[in-house]
Structure 1
Amino acid sequence: MSAENYTWDKRIEFIVRYMYDIDNNGFLDSKDFECMALRATIIEGKGDCSEKRLAEYNNIMKSLWGELSDLADFDKDGMITTDEFKEAVRKTCVGKKYDEFPKAMKAFIEANFKIMDINSDGVIGVDEFRYNAIQRLATNNIKIIDDAFNALLNEKDKAEGGLTLSRYQELYGDFLGKQDFNPAVFLFGPLAVED
């Protein structure tokens, strides 16, 4: 897997395109975050849509949208372009540890962990990682997904059977906050499929 596919710019573009821009219109707006709340509720509930959990996710996503709007909607048009998002992440995350990230972003990251932890055992294992990655990735080769997962793991992760919440937070912090090529670049699987 080529390091050029994992530059900081490409990682941030990936976050916008595949994780936040739910309606694929090329920019972020409040509708994307409302859709993320429903999506998170249904995925976490394995098809069930708990009104209580939906309300919690709506609060998380509304806070995240408000915080991102304040940080990134520079022209105050109600839309955040990829370039605006990059600049906001650069200002709030680059060179910082996870604990220094904005509160709403940390809440989103923790919610994302819960969504990925399908069996709710507190660890994202290879099967859960595969399930999450394949939703965004067009590939016929499971090995590249497994290689990405294994690249994330340190010895403690291997003993745990995968990624705990604290390790996921650390890796997410590195994904956004470090501009170099590091293991965290594989947090969402391979970002590009090579022939």
Structure 2
Amino acid sequence: MAYSWDNRVDFVVRFMYDIDNNGFLDDNDFQCMAVRAAVIEGKGNVNDGRLGEYRHIMKSLWEEISDLADDDKDGKISTEEFKGAVKKTCVGKPYDGFPQAMKAFIEANFKMIDLNSDGIINLEKYRYNCITRIAVDDIKTVDEAYNRLLNDDDRKKGGLTLARYQELYSHYLGNTDEKNPGVTLFGPLTI
């Protein structure tokens, strides 16, 4: 049940997109995500050019999600509205079939996690990303979640490449099977 599609999408809304924790998504959340991405990528330093790029990516993502999900056009997207949009645009589709703004967000998210920009998300980077978002009382659960993501090729490469991350992200959002390979992409889920 923890890895059901509903729980995975709830997790994305609650822990990744609803930055101001007000229970819904709005433009402010996406602007906050842009600042967060620039700060994390710069390890505390903010490059104005990169911040501008992130603002553009997040503004585009907000507009696309808003067009798809804000059914009552109130400028707020509930979790249920978001789920409806994900069902329409992601479920049953490979990564290449995702909306362009979503793909840009996924690539930006990879860069945020890849702290040293070597093109690989290894165990240490995965751990760091998980503990900044969820409560962890036993690091073994995080390590197990990471190892569940890896295939033999990932192990040879030392972790997840951007292409593999994109594939796993498409499984996380687009595959309703709770045993799919991407269910632990953002850590062990407990909701």
TM-score computed with the length of structure 2 as normaliser: 0.98
Partner residue of 2:46 out of 46, 49, 53 = 49
Q: Say whether residues 1:112 and 2:103 are aligned partners.
A: no
Q: Deviations over 1:100-130 (max 9, x none)?
A: 0000000000000000001110000000000
Give the equivalent residue in structure 2 for 1:144.
141
Question: What does residue range 33-72 of structure 1 map to in structure 2 within 5 Å?
Answer: 33-72=30-69
CA distance in 2, matches of 1:74, 1:187: 29
Letter in 2 for 1:38: V
Question: What does residue range 85-100 of structure 1 map to in structure 2 within 5 Å?
Answer: 85-100=82-97
3-state SS of 2:63 partner: helix
Q: What are structure 2's unaligned runs of at least 5 residues? A: none
Letter in 1 for 2:105: F
CA distance in 2, matches of 1:151, 1:187: 9
Partner residue of 2:186 out of 185, 188, 193 = 188
Partner residue of 1:159 out of 149, 152, 156 = 156
Percent of aligned pairs sharing the same letter: 64
Letter in 2 for 1:110: E
Q: What are structure 1's unaligned runs of at least 5 residues? A: none
Give the equivalent residue in structure 2 for 1:168.
165
Give the equivalent residue in structure 2 for 1:6.
3
Give the equivalent residue in structure 1 for 2:14.
17
Letter in 1 for 2:144: D
CA distance in 1, matches of 2:12, 2:130: 13
Give the equivalent residue in structure 2 for 1:129.
126
CA distance in 2, matches of 1:67, 1:137: 27
Aligned residues: 190
Letter in 1 for 2:186: F
The offset of 1:77, in angstroms, is: 0.4
TM-score computed with the length of structure 1 as normaliser: 0.96
Letter in 1 for 2:6: D
CA distance in 1, matches of 2:4, 2:55: 32
**After TM superposition, what 4+ stretches of structure 1 lie above 2 angstroms from structure 2?**
none
Q: Deviations over 1:133-160 (max 9, x none)?
A: 0112212211000000000000000000
Q: Say whether residues 1:103 and 2:107 are aligned partners.
A: no
Give the equivalent residue in structure 2 for 1:84.
81
Aligned CA-pair RMSD: 0.8
CA distance in 2, matches of 1:139, 1:170: 26
